[in-house]
Amino acid sequence: MGSLVELLSSFGSPSLNSVLIVASVGLLAWYYLEDKVAYWSKRGVPNVPASKCIAQTLTFLAGRKTMNEIFKEQYQLLEGQKYGGTFQGLYPSILVRDPAMIKEWLVKSFSSFHDRAPEPDENVDKLAGNLFQLTGDRWRTVRHKMSPAFSSAKLKIMYETLKDCAEECNAHLEARCASKGETEIDIKDFVSNYTMDVIGACAMGIKCNAVRDPENCEMKKVVKEMFAVGWRSILFQLLEMIHPKLPELLRIVPRQPAVEQFLMTITKNAMEMKTKAGQSTRKDFLQILMNISSSESDVTRDSNEDLSVLEGGVVHEGPIFTENIIAGVVTSFLFAGLEPVSAITTFCLYELVRHPEMQERLFQEIQSARKESCGEIKYEDLKKLRYLDQVVNETFRKYPVASILARNCTENVQISGESVVVEKGVKVFISTYALHRDPTFFPDPDKFDPERFSEENVDKIIPGSYLPFGDGPRFCIAQRLALMDVKTMVITLVSGYTLHTCSKTVDHIEMDPKAFTLNPKGSVWLRLKKRI
């Protein structure tokens, strides 16, 4: 403090110069802020004022509203517009409402919106080398080389793993039903344990035993921390509001260091065990990534994806699947395959309880398929279960777990038919939660109605209005695995049990405002009665 006073004294009266400096800084800050908050108004773009956007974000950080509710509010404030300006902190962003415009930007103009965020610093966040965060050419290369991991042949192998995990669940439930023929269960927690076992087996070839022994499942404890909204994640988001690169400069990551350390260590240990064991015939995700890493140039593309729309058109050459990249990709697989999948399965089962006639129709369809397939549902039989498709698709419509899609504008883009230019660096948001609940596209949106996806009605859905897994080259690469995961559990439970409400079943599922994805708040209790 003394040195500051001495510095000011060298220019004359400390008090006068202090006032001048503070006034100058304040004036510059005022001009800066005024320019920021007036960004969209100056361009004649309808917008949600920055003050409201900041206030809404603070209610989310305080745990009073979900981010889905906030984006839905902004979506409704921009009613009648194809798009509108919003703010992420003080930085301008744009919320797109028009399905045709969404389709154009995610697919046709993908080369101008191919990133989700600026390139992360992997020296700060060792798990940042994943498909969510990678940008440009590196994302494109990783995506290209990972695509074979989700081919039909690989999924068929993974389906056997899913069935094994589902049978473990069935054995657990049968034991609980042994005395009375029924049991009450927190289906949210139960399904979460199932998805933990599935991801552990499919991702790294490890047995988590979350269904059998949830209290001693170390992976479950770490994943719970990974999804928790604590002071680190709140601080991270506050710093991002000030400047998108500020968390990185201050070396702040949105998770506990112990979580990163555990995930890095368990991935490294699993890789070492696989290396010592020699070439494995097991087709878990980590083994596939290790095979790619050891022979990247020999990977055969087994996919219909066309990633040439990304400007440059050349896939990154040379080794890219480093230990950090593999750990990052496995972590993103955990993040996308655990809470979102368990949540959508929970929502689906809850709706079937609320609609017993749908549950019975689904049971009859499954039984019919079993009879045609010698008593079991094989991988090839899944596509024959048309009503199951309708039920699951409607669940994704009403409860889109990928409820907010984000893209980064990577070059100046003039909006088609208008003079407005979306500048490079502007964040683009699409609220699938708001779209899926817009009566313009889905009449009576709060009603759970699988008939929206019947053969007679599915073609009536406007392209760009239904986006459960995103769209374009950056759509969810594990879409088919996620659907298979959900369907396997639904088939297992509906086949073996009738699902009912119990005294602890809520009339309406409240969403958790602290969850990163659309997720029920608290427990979801159901009663399962063994079928005879």
Q: Which residues are annotated as a binding site for heme?
A: 476
* 429: alpha, beta or left? (left if phi > 0; alpha if psi -120 to 50): beta
d(CA 98, CA 149): 34
Side-chain-facing half-sphere of 198: CA atoms under 13 Å: 34
Helix, strand, coil % over all residues of the chain, rounded to 5: 55, 10, 35
Q: Assign 93 to helix, strand or coil.
A: strand
Q: Letter for the amino acid at 46?
A: P
CA dist 470 and 331 (Å) reads 20
Task: Please name which of 118, 256, 234, 190 lies closest in space to residue 516, comparing C-alpha atoms.
Answer: 234
How far apart, in whole angstroms, are the C-alpha atoms of residue 188 and residue 166?
15
| Number of residues that make up the chain | 532
CB neighbours of 26 closer than 8 A, spacing ≥ 6? none
User: Which 3 state secondary structure label does DSSP give 407?
Assistant: strand
456: Cβ contacts below 8 Å, ≥ 6 apart: none
Q: Which two tokens stand for residue 51?
A: 């003050």
90-119 core/surface letters (b: 16 or more CB in 10 A; e: else): bbbbbbbbebebbbbbbbebbbbbbbbbee
Place of tokens 């101008």: 112
The answer to whether 156 and 283 are in contact (CB under 8 A) is no
Residues annotated in a binding site: 476
DSSP per residue, 353-370 = HH-HHHHHHHHHHHHHHH
- The dihedral region occupied by 375, where left means phi > 0, alpha psi between -120 and 50, and beta the remainder, is left
Token duo for residue 238: 């506050």
Backbone angles phi, psi at 419, to 5 degrees: -90, -10
Long-range contacts of 424-428 (CB under 8 A, 24+ apart): 426/92, 426/93, 426/94, 427/88, 427/91, 427/92, 427/93, 427/94, 427/117, 428/93, 428/94, 428/96, 428/105, 428/113
Return all residues near 60 (Cβ < 8 A) that are at least 6 apart. 66, 67, 70, 513
